[in-house]
Amino acid sequence: MKAEERLHTVSLSGVDHKVRVGALYRKFGPAIYSRCRRLLKDDALAEDATQEVFVRVLRHIETAPDDAAALAWIYRISTNYCLNQIRDRGRQAEPTASDELPELSCDPEPEMLDRDLAMRLVARSPEKIRAAAVLYYIDGLEQAQVATTLGISRRTVINRLQEFVDRSKKFVARGTSEVN
């Protein structure tokens, strides 16, 4: 990591808070926006989500020791925010017919590489395993990185991913629209 790039720790010390907020938003906003757009698949919702997530993540960014740490907070908070949005939208929507659901093989693990499919499965999962599943299957983070991002042990990450896979298998076996 290049120290001179640590905008939040070096170049903005002592400047007006409003200017600092604007600079941080300009720097990290694209990463948040891209992430929200990817998860929500809707430009307008992603724009709204970007503002909300940035405000929530701002203090963490300001105190993060480097860009990787700042991104970890962005991933954590934007993932939870967007998944909640997806869940809430799902509650308002009509139930999905089972024949509209994707077909999965008996072993869903390889299918997880299909990010769209993974998102649909994640959206149906309990809250506690959703973030781990997104970070691992959709963001491609290693288990140790997921653990660091979420502030949990690697063992817990492994357990949650296993639970996600188990639930996905049940989902396939039952052919229903609800895993939980």
Residues of this chain that bind another protein (CB under 8 A):
1-2, 5, 8-9, 13, 17-18, 21-22, 25-27, 29-31, 33-35, 37-38, 47, 50-51, 54-55, 58-60, 62-68, 71-73, 75, 113, 138-142, 145, 147-148, 151-153, 155-156
Task: Provide the 3-class DSSP secondary structure of residue 6.
Answer: coil
Residue indicated by tokens 């809250």: 127
The least distance separating another protein from the CB of residue 13, rounded to whole angstroms, comes to 8
| Residue 136 or 171 having the CB closest to another protein | 136
Residue indicated by tokens 């992603």: 46
CA nearest to 166, candidates 114, 116, 113, 106: 106
The least distance separating another protein from the CB of residue 97, rounded to whole angstroms, comes to 30
| Residue 7 or 101 having the CB closest to another protein | 7
| Residue 68 or 173 having the CB closest to another protein | 68
The least distance separating another protein from the CB of residue 130, rounded to whole angstroms, comes to 15
The least distance separating another protein from the CB of residue 93, rounded to whole angstroms, comes to 25
d(CA 47, CA 32): 9
Instruction: State in Å, rounded, how far the first CA of the chain is from the last one.
Output: 41
Count of positions (residues) in the chain: 180
d(CA 6, CA 158): 32
| Residue 35 or 167 having the CB closest to another protein | 35
| Residue 44 or 106 having the CB closest to another protein | 44
Containing 168, the helix (H) or strand (E) segment is helix 154-174
The three state secondary structure string of 41-84 is: CCHHHHHHHHHHHHHHHHHHHHHCCCHHHHHHHHHHHHHHHHHH
The least distance separating another protein from the CB of residue 175, rounded to whole angstroms, comes to 28
